[in-house]
A and B are shown apart, each in its own frame.
Chain A
Amino acid sequence: MYSQGLIGADGRTDEDEAFLAAFQERIDAEMKIEPNDPMPEGYRKTLVRQISQHAHSEVIGMQPEGNWITRAPTLRRKAALLAKVQDEGGHGLYLYSAAETLGVSREEMTDQLLSGAAKYSSIFNYPTLTWGDIGAIGWLVDGAAIMNQIPLCRCSFGPYARAMIRVCKEESFHQRQGYEIMMTLARGSDEQKAMAQDALDRYWWPSLMMFGPSEGSSVHSSQSMAWKIKRFTNDELRDKFINATVPQAEYLGLTVPDPDLKWNEERQSYDHGEIDWDEFWRVVKGDGPCNRERLRNRTRVHEEGAWVREAALAHAEKRRERAEAAKIAAE
């Protein structure tokens, strides 16, 4: 629990030019920044924002898939889905721990999530309407997450990079499971094929939006790149994802819902149609199909669980008092 010691610690740094230059030198030398190392306040804040939003995404992301646990079509799929959602909860825990090393508490982060001050991935504001969506989420959403997260395994901040190594292993397993669901549907009955196509139709664009806005409008991009928090631009990662995913869709015999999608021989990359950025910003700002539902659920769970958390605290306190009393009595 080395993180606990840092909560409330003085995060101020002396940010004169020499300090910033020395810090950048460490970054450029690919040295990992660790929790007790001095760091610019902007670096700390950027990481707190990014890691906590990542953690929140894992937690909120339990809802759309959790929606199908009780209805999964076979026992094998049910077990795999339950295990997957459990993994996501675990990823949330690692990430909250990684963020805590930067001096912010899980309680503060939870409050920020519930008040709407902190964001989570826009993708989880889309509903899971059929079993096909569970396949599409594994294949596309986890696929996009992996594209984003693999470079983060080399992120300059040590705790985040190490969390990502573990997360990525599990995510790629989930992605294969998702693709396997899609493959089973695509090779199944007409109804199943239609289910798979419909899921791809609804999840394709939201998955592309997971990489965030294009460079021109991405505020955090250049500084994050210089600090090696980010390694690639949003558009670079999005292209990588499209290039990897389109052949998979073709293999499934499914159609990507983008009439402008075309292989560009010169770029050795797919050109794609325009993303609906109005929709993206609307969802990020709270007006997507499930934003209110997701936060309402999370808030209700938090409130309904309060008495349990209070009981655990009260009991721990009683134990401590009894142990102390016993110790005094024995002296």
Chain B
Amino acid sequence: MSDDLFRYVLRLADDHLILGQRLGEWCGKAPSLEEDLALANIGLDCLGQARALFTYAGKVEGKGRDEDDLAFLRPEREYCNALLVEQPNRDFAWAIARQFYFSAFMLPFWRAMGKSTDDDLRAIAAKAEKEVAYHLRHSAEWVIRLGDGTEESRRRMIAALEELFIYTGELFEMDDVALAMVSEGVAVDASELRDEWRRTVDGVLSEAHLTAPEAAYDQTGGREGRHTEHLGHLLSELQYMQRAYPGLEW
């Protein structure tokens, strides 16, 4: 139980840290000051969620690892975030598409997690749900603006939505760890959230006068530590200080 719970919480923590890191890369680079603030804001929410989840994962594991040990001292094969969140920023449409797909999943996820038998996860879910509602609104509005904006913005929005679509299937994936947690009443059966997610995505895309992509296949592997080539570079940067100067206070 506790090993499965550890792995389950760690996945969630990794998702949020990696996405927070990607959003942090936008700092000072957004198309307007207002968007700089918005992306930093979402990034901060993700980081906050990651920290709460890492701290809880460390407690469940019981080996004395804190949020920083878990974030900075695991190599890429031990990271278990979804592939979607590690995708690079490329352009603003990519950042928006990635955020939109992810937030459209996380909102019903946290809502369902509000019924978890696990007190810590329930508490984290209650806070996260409010934040994600804002993230979803922000990214959905931009999908609509870009999709129904100029010819160029429409082209870029379509490209980002289509290219990232193959990574969305992984969000609904259920393996032994997740199933064991569902049977304990701790976890959410992500596969049951697929229809709601699809309705959210289709609704926003139709408002943007876009058609929802179909995936030829789902690219997965993140939960088992099989990532895209992007993650290693992200972690090199993220972990540099702790690797260079281990075991210190900062």
A interface residue count range (under 10 / 10 to 19 / 20 to 34 / 35 or more): 35 or more
Could you tell me if B27 and A85 are in contact, using CB atoms closer than 8 angstroms? yes
For residue A22, CB closer than 8 A to chain B, the reply is no
Q: Which of B198-250 contact A (CB under 8 A)?
A: 237-238, 240-242, 245, 248-250
Chain A residues closer than 8 Å to B242, beta-carbon distance: 73-74
Q: Given A184-B250, A307-B153, A310-B150, check contact A70 B32 (CB 8 Å).
A: no
A89 to B43, CA, bound (A): 15
B48 within 8 A of A: yes
Contact call B48/A79, Cβ cutoff below 8 A: yes
Q: Is the CB of A310 within 8 A of B33?
A: no
Of all chain A residues, the one with the shortest Cβ separation from B208 is A315
User: What residue in chain B is nearest A77 (Cβ atoms)?
Assistant: B250
CB within 8 Å for A192 and B27 given contacts A89-B33, A312-B149: no
Of A163-171, A274-282, A297-305, which stretch is located at the interface? A297-305
Interface membership of chain B positions 11-45, coded 1 if the CB is closer than 8 angstroms to chain A and 0 otherwise:
00000010001001101111111111100110110
In the bound complex, CA of A74 to CA of B51 (Å): 10
Instruction: Report yes or no: B27 in contact with A71, Cβ–Cβ below 8 A.
Output: no
Chain A: which residue is nearest B50 at the CB level?
Answer: A75
A314 at the interface (CB under 8 A from B): yes
B33 touches A59 (CB 8 A): yes
CA distance A262 to B29 in the complex (A): 43
Q: Find chain B residues with CB under 8 A from A312 CB.
A: 145, 149
Known: A86-B37, A93-B34, A305-B30. Is A69-B250 also a contact (CB below 8 A)?
no
Determine if A309 is an interface residue (Cβ-Cβ < 8 Å). yes
B149 touching A79, Cβ below 8 Å: no
The answer on a CB contact under 8 Å between A89 and B150 is no
1/0 per residue A74-107: CB within 8 Å of B?
1111110011011001101100100000000000
Residues of B within 8 A of A96 (CB): 33
Cβ-defined contact, B40 with A85, below 8 A = yes
Residues of A with C-beta under 8 A to B249: 184, 187-188
Contact code string B47-83 (vs A, CB < 8 Å = 1, else 0): 1101100100000000000011001100000000000
| CB-based contact B145/A311 at 8 Å | yes
Q: Are A75 and B67 in touch, CB under 8 angstroms?
A: yes
- Shortest distance between the CB of A290 and any CB in chain B (Å): 13
Q: How far is the CA of A309 from the CA of B36 in the complex (A)?
A: 13
CB of B50, distance to nearest CB on chain A (Å):
7
User: CB of A36 within 8 A of chain B?
Assistant: no
Q: Which residue of A lies closest to B240 (CB)?
A: A71
Q: Chain B CB within 10 Å — which of A71, A185, A309 has the most?
A: A71
B10 at the interface (CB under 8 A from A): no
- Could you tell me if A311 and B28 are in contact, using CB atoms closer than 8 angstroms? no
Docked pose: A62 CA to B28 CA in angstroms = 6
Are B28 and A301 in contact (CB-based, < 8 A)?
A: yes
Smallest beta-carbon distance B229→chain A, Å: 18
Interface centre among A66, A90, A297, A304, by most B CB within 10 Å? A66
CB of B152 within 8 Å of the partner chain: yes
Contact of A328 with B by CB under 8 A:
no
**Contact assessment for B240 and A192 in the assembled complex, using a CB-CB cutoff below 8 Å:** no
A308 touches B241 (CB 8 A): no
Is B31 a contact of A131 with CB atoms below 8 Å?
Answer: no
Whether B149 pairs with A315 at a CB distance below 8 angstroms is yes
Interface membership of A320, Cβ < 8 A: no
Is the pair B144, A315 in contact by a Cβ cutoff of 8 Å? yes
Q: Choose among B29, B40, B54, B240 the residue with the greatest number of A CB atoms under 10 Å from its CB.
A: B40
For the complex, give the distance between the alpha carbons of A267 and B250 in Å. Answer: 38
Known A63-B28, A77-B250: A71·B44 in contact at CB below 8 Å = no
Decide: B248 and A192 in contact? CB cutoff 8 A.
yes
> Which B residues are in CB contact (< 8 Å) with A79?
44, 47-48, 51
Q: Which A residues touch B4, using CB under 8 A? A: none
B48 and A89 within 8 A (CB): no
The CA of A308 and the CA of B91, in the complex, are separated in Å by 10
Interface string of A182-214 (1 = CB under 8 A from B): 001101110110000000000000000000000
CB-CB nearest in chain B for A79: B47
Q: Tell me if B238 and A71 are in contact (CB < 8 A).
A: yes
Question: Could you tell me if A82 and B44 are in contact, using CB atoms closer than 8 angstroms?
Answer: yes
B148 proximal to A (CB < 8 A): yes
Find B250's partner among A63, A131, A311 (CB 8 Å cutoff): A131
B92 interface residue (CB < 8 Å to A):
yes
- 24 contacting pairs across A/B (C-beta < 8 A): A62-B27, A69-B27, A70-B237, A74-B68, A75-B68, A75-B71, A78-B24, A82-B24, A86-B40, A86-B44, A89-B28, A89-B37, A92-B33, A185-B250, A188-B250, A189-B245, A297-B28, A305-B31, A308-B146, A310-B153, A311-B145, A311-B152, A312-B145, A318-B148
Q: A75-B54, A76-B51, A305-B30 are in contact. List 20 more A-B contacts (CB 8 A).
A: A63-B28, A73-B72, A73-B245, A73-B250, A74-B72, A75-B68, A85-B27, A89-B28, A131-B250, A185-B250, A189-B248, A191-B245, A297-B28, A301-B28, A308-B32, A310-B152, A311-B150, A311-B153, A315-B146, A315-B148
Shortest beta-carbon contacts, A-B, top 5: A305-B31, A311-B149, A311-B153, A308-B31, A73-B241
**Residue positions of A touching B, CB distance < 8 A:** 59, 62-63, 66, 69-79, 82-83, 85-86, 89-90, 92-93, 96, 131, 181, 184-185, 187-189, 191-192, 297, 301, 304-312, 314-315, 318
